[in-house]
């Protein structure tokens, strides 16, 4: 089985372009380690890559990606927790100053959460169990007949961002650092179809478009 040619072609372009332009930066990062100041929690969706949206260079962002960019509540039960482990590393080892939960439009995970007839993709139903984090809000928004389906999806995508920020505060260290003014929590929502970024106002919790 051969390695995908499309990836090899992309790698060649990377080496002759981006890597060549930032060669010294990569060497510096290799020798000194990474020191990003911002953690972005984003979706796995191939259309919403934080490094591209924020035009970030190597070493500038620490990124966690999972289905529907969600943060589970703090749960020190000894089980495997990938998102929580990455959070722990970002906050305790890298000492990031900002955490951004970035959702996006037309999220497949959110769409599935709104579909009462959605069937499990496998016997393990890993996605179904993961999306149960947002199920109460999905049931409430899904019953809103005033909204269009697109409006319901956008509403749940944004509610999910708020929920994840609340769940971040259930982690004792994150809560303490925020209260001490050493860590800031932010929400953002990216519209894939228009390229527009909406950011969450920390006081009203509404999403607004910043001036460009």
Sequential pLDDT tens for the chain (212 residues)? 799 999 999 999 999 999 999 999 999 999 999 999 999 999 999 999 999 999 999 999 999 999 999 999 999 998 889 999 999 999 999 999 999 999 999 999 999 999 988 899 999 999 999 999 999 999 999 999 999 999 999 999 999 999 999 999 999 999 999 999 999 999 999 999 999 999 999 999 999 999 88
| DSSP secondary structure letter of residue 67 | G
Residues 28 and 80 reside in one and the same domain: no
Query: What total number of domains does the chain contain?
Result: 2
Q: In angstroms, rounded to a whole number, what is the distance separating the alpha carbons of residues 1 and 175?
A: 48
The C-alpha atoms of residue 56 and residue 114 are separated, in whole angstroms, by 33
Q: Would you state the pLDDT for residue 212? A: 82
- Distance between CA atoms of 168 and 99, rounded to whole angstroms? 9
Token pair, residue 208, equals 């607004």
d(CA 96, CA 202) in angstroms, rounded, equals 19
Radius of gyration of the chain (CA): 19
pLDDT in the model for residue 78 = 83
**Domain hosting residue 6, numbered range:** 1-32
DSSP string of 107-141, one letter each residue: -HHHHHHH-TTPPPSSTT-HHHHHHGGGHHHHHHH
How far apart, in whole angstroms, are the C-alpha atoms of residue 57 and residue 22? 9
User: Do 158 and 181 belong to one domain?
Assistant: yes
- 97 and 147 share one domain: yes
Do both 17 and 52 map to the same domain? Answer: no
Q: Is there a single domain that holds both residue 76 and residue 18?
A: no
What interhelical angle do 149-168 and 135-142 show, nearest 10? 150
Does 100 lie in the same domain as 58?
A: yes
Largest alpha-carbon pair distance within the chain? 57
Do residue 22 and residue 76 come from a single domain? no
Q: Which CATH number covers residue 144?
A: 3.40.1050.10
Instruction: Tell me the sheet residues that pair with 188.
Output: 102, 199
pTM of the model: 0.96
End-to-end CA distance of the chain: 47
């Amino acid at each position: 089985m051969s390695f995908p040619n499309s990836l090899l072609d992309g790698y060649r372009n990377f080496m002759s372009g981006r890597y060549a332009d930032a060669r010294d930066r990569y060497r510096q990062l290799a020798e000194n380690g990474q020191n990003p100041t911002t953690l972005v929690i984003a979706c796995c969706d191939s259309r919403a890559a934080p490094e591209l949206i924020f035009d970030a260079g190597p070493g500038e962002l620490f990124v966690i990606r999972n289905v529907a960019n969600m943060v589970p509540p703090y749960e020190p039960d000894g089980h495997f927790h990938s998102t929580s482990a990455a959070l722990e590393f970002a906050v305790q080892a890298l000492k990031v100053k900002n955490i951004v939960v970035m959702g996006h439009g037309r999220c497949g995970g959110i769409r599935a959460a709104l579909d009462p007839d959605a069937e499990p993709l496998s016997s393990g139903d890993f996605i179904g169990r993961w999306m149960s984090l947002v199920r109460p809000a999905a049931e409430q928004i899904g019953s809103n007949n005033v909204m269009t389906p697109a409006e319901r999806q956008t509403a749940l995508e944004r509610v999910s961002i708020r929920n994840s920020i609340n769940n971040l505060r259930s982690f004792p260290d994150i809560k303490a650092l925020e209260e001490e003014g050493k860590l800031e929590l932010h929400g953002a929502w990216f519209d894939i179809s228009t390229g527009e970024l909406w950011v969450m106002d920390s006081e009203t919790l509404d999403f607004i478009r910043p001036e460009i």
